[in-house]
Structure 1
Amino acid sequence: MRAARVEAYGGPADVVIRDVPAPEATPGHVVVDVAAAALNFPDLLLIADRYQVSAPLPFTPGSEFAGRVAAVGEGVTGLAVGDPVHGSVFSGALAEQVLAPATAVSPIPPGLSMVEAAAFRVTYLTAYHCLVTIGELAPEQWVVVLGAAGGVGSAAVDIAVRLGARVIAAASSPERLAVCKELGAEACIDYTTEDLKLRIKEITGGGADLVVDPVGDRWAEPALRAIRWGGRFVVVGFAGGEIPRIPLNLVLLKNITVRGIELRTWSARLPEETARAREGLATLVAQGMRPLVSEVHDLDDVAVALQRVADRAPTAKVVIRVAD
């Protein structure tokens, strides 16, 4: 089968297409014929060996996929050959077939195309946990989403608006903020030109109830300072580059709750919470929610697509079409 491969750590240009052996179903696992796979910022970190966990060389990158079950391993129940599913793995999704634990795949919510399903599972599940499972978001509360036009960010804006929250989208350009406005954000902040803390306080009149932060870097602290007494701050990642050093006295004096989520370990350790989140998302999909996809590339162009993500050029998710 054809697959994207990383044979030496580096950048998008180092990702090549190779013919590799097809996987075989092992106990507790399924093999999926991949129709589409979505790109995420952590893919770039994994390719560069800058992620929290290394992938041994050579490897196939990609974590988020959609397709049909091709084979079922011993002990797997509830899944059959031909079932349309979407799922996530640590790596391996950017290939014509992927081997995944049966617990890491689930039926595609009715109404989603394969491209939409590939762009949905990781980012929307992460965003739902940030807002609901961890963030305890209630209608009419103010939520600030940093990196609001990115994968997790746009999903968080979308979900929060549909749950009745008042959303402030913070992003790095007018073009990105325009996308957030289309998703229903009540207010927008360009944090490259505006004072993030000041603007959040001006807009909310007293501080945000919840901040969702996939960016980190120099924007985490001003966002934290703009949280009201008793508010929540959820750490998702560090797409901005630097891991911030948060003054813990702010957390103490304002009784702020700081939580983090890393979906790979969360789903494995907390299956019941994950199942409830999927049910909540399926309800929103039935009501018309769809992930934003700004670009679709063929597998042969995966290096180009990854470079687009690295350059922060897309205004929504980037998906690789693996099969028709």
Structure 2
Amino acid sequence: MHKRTESKELNMARTIIIEEVGGPENMKLVDWPVGDPGPGEIRIRHKACGLNFIDVYQRTGLYAMKLPHALGMEAAGIVEAVGPGVTHLKEGDRAAYASMPPGAYSEARVMPAAQVCPLPDAISFEQAAAIMLQGLTVEYLFHRTTPIGKGDSVLFHAAAGGVGLFACQWARSEGIELIGTAGSDEKCALAKAAGADHVINYRSADFVAEVKKITGGKGVDVVMDGVGKDTFEGSLDCLKPLGMMISFGNASGPVPPVNLLTLAAKGSLKLTRATLFTHIADHAKCQEMAQHLFSKVVSGDVKVNIGQTFPLEEIAAAHRALEGRQTTGSTIITL
């Protein structure tokens, strides 16, 4: 990857693209054209962007894209220009987003405005780049997927990751009992400190047996599972009858086909495969969710945990760290 201090031309921006799917080495840092926004669009100059597993899924081809394509789903910065029909943002506004299409690994870009959200002054660009995708994910998991309230119990896998640490804090702020799993005692301690009521090191203990022990054999009301293949079967065994399994990620690989009779045999279980982008597709709903998230951060209910930072030209190292389970909290990319 070549490194430049800054792209001087307004119509060019340093951008990470892929021309074919594959490993981290397939990502290229290039000068990419940036035009003027059309109807319903904005041009935004990024100050920081986020790193998420969906970026890996797109890079590897698990989530197909037409190539070549820029990568990155989340960023924060300053609105430089506004196209016709955009009313919730203006030139000079601070803003942040987690939305389609990919292209956030860049100095600047033109993109649809509907899912870009005005950013309160109390939240820094770095914090915003760390919270949008993960925080909005937690918002829909706890508020828009199945009814969850004070006193309910949730099993959350990878509780020391970026989404997990948000979930631990969110659950604590709402009186929800959260059992978190993680892959080391150090990560378990992070989840516990963030608000998990119970933690399980899945490398040294059977998480199904531990959940049953913690719940007196009853199981939990809801499982939130972003790990995928490795935890799916055990997760079903952790649910109460009529419990809800929310599968929302594939960190260990996609879940194999499910026999619906298995759900019946395990207690008339409910199962959904949720995605953030369905929830934020509606402009008004997306803005509402973002305001809810920002209020949690500004109030202190949820603290932003930036575990590591990489410059844009070291994006391959960032991906390797994420895939190798070597990250904690959120990871941001600086420009």
| 1:86 correspondence with 2:96 | yes
Distance apart, 1:195 and its partner CA:
1.3
Counterpart of 1:306 in structure 2 is 319
TM-score by length of 2: 0.90
* One-letter amino acid of the structure 2 residue matched with residue 225 of structure 1: D
Task: Show the 5 A alignment for 1:144-183.
Answer: 144-183=155-194
Q: Which residue of 1 aligns with 2:271?
A: 258
| 313-322 vs 253-262, which moves further | 253-262
- 1:119-138 to 2 correspondence within 5 Å? 119-138=130-149
The separation in 2 between residues aligned to 1:179 and 1:23, in whole angstroms, is 43
Contact 1:217–1:242 at 8 Å: present in 2 too? yes
In the TM superposition, residue 242 of structure 1 has moved relative to its aligned partner by 3.8
Once residues 287 and 144 of structure 2 are traced to their aligned partners in structure 1, the CA distance between those partners, rounded to angstroms, is 11
CA displacement at 1:90 relative to structure 2: 2.7
**Structure 1 match to 2:228:** 216
Deviation at 1:162? 1.4
Judged with a 3 Å threshold, the aligned counterparts in structure 2 of structure 1 residues 219 and 139 are, in CA distance, closer, same or farther, namely same
8 Å Cα contact 1:196-1:219 kept in structure 2: no
Q: TM-score, normalised by structure 1?
A: 0.93
- Contact kept? 1:33, 1:70, Cα under 8 Å: yes
8 Å Cα contact 1:116-1:290 kept in structure 2: no
Residue 110 of structure 1: how far off its partner (Å): 4.4
Give the C-alpha shift of residue 179 in structure 1: 1.6
Counterpart among 59, 65, 82 of residue 47 in structure 1? 59
For residue 331 of structure 2, the aligned residue among 307, 315, 318 is 318
1:186 pairs, out of 187, 197, 200, with 197
Q: Secondary structure, in 3 states, of the residue corresponding to 2:110? A: strand
State how far apart, in whole Å, the 1-side matches of 2:36 and 2:65 are: 20
1:73 aligns with 2:86: no
Structure 1's unaligned 5+ residue stretches are: none
**Alignment correspondent of 2:69:** 59
Measured at CA, do residues 255 and 236 of structure 1 come closer, stay the same or move farther in structure 2, by a change above 3 Å? same
Alignment of 1:236-251 (within 5 A): 236-251=248-263
Shift, 1:293, TM fit: 1.0
Q: Is 1:294 matched up with 2:304?
A: no
* 1:8 correspondence with 2:20: yes
CA contact (8 A) 1:13 1:307 kept: no
1:20 aligns to what SS in structure 2? strand
Secondary structure of residue in 2 paired with 1:70: strand
Q: What does the per-residue CA deviation read over 1:124-177, in whole Å, with 9 as the maximum and x for residues that have no partner?
A: 111111112113211121111012222322222221121111111112222221
How far 1:215 moved relative to its partner?
A: 0.8
State which of 30, 33, 45 in structure 2 corresponds to 1:33.
Answer: 45
Q: Deviations over 1:67-101 (max 9, x none)?
A: 01011011111211110110123310000012221
Whether the 8 Å CA contact 1:211–1:227 is kept in 2: the answer is: yes
Aligned mates of 1:81, 1:202 — CA distance in 2 = 56
CA distance in 1, matches of 2:303, 2:231: 28
Change (3 A) 1:138 1:176: same
- Letter paired with 1:180: A
- Deviation string for 1:5-50 (max 9, x for gaps)? 2123221122121112123211101111011110101111211212
Percent identity of paired positions between Structure 1 and Structure 2: 30
Structure 2 unaligned residues grouped into runs of 5+: 1-12
Instruction: Report the secondary structure of 2:199's partner residue.
Output: strand
User: One-letter code of the match for 1:126?
Assistant: T
Aligned residues of 1:221 and 1:246 also touching (Cα < 8 A): no
| Counterpart position of 2:150 | 139
Match of 1:285 in 2: 297
Secondary structure of 1:134's match?
coil
With over 3 angstroms needed to count, the CA separation of the structure-2 counterparts of 1:23 and 1:147, relative to structure 1, is farther
One-letter code aligned to 1:214: G
Task: State the partner residue of 1:267.
Answer: 280
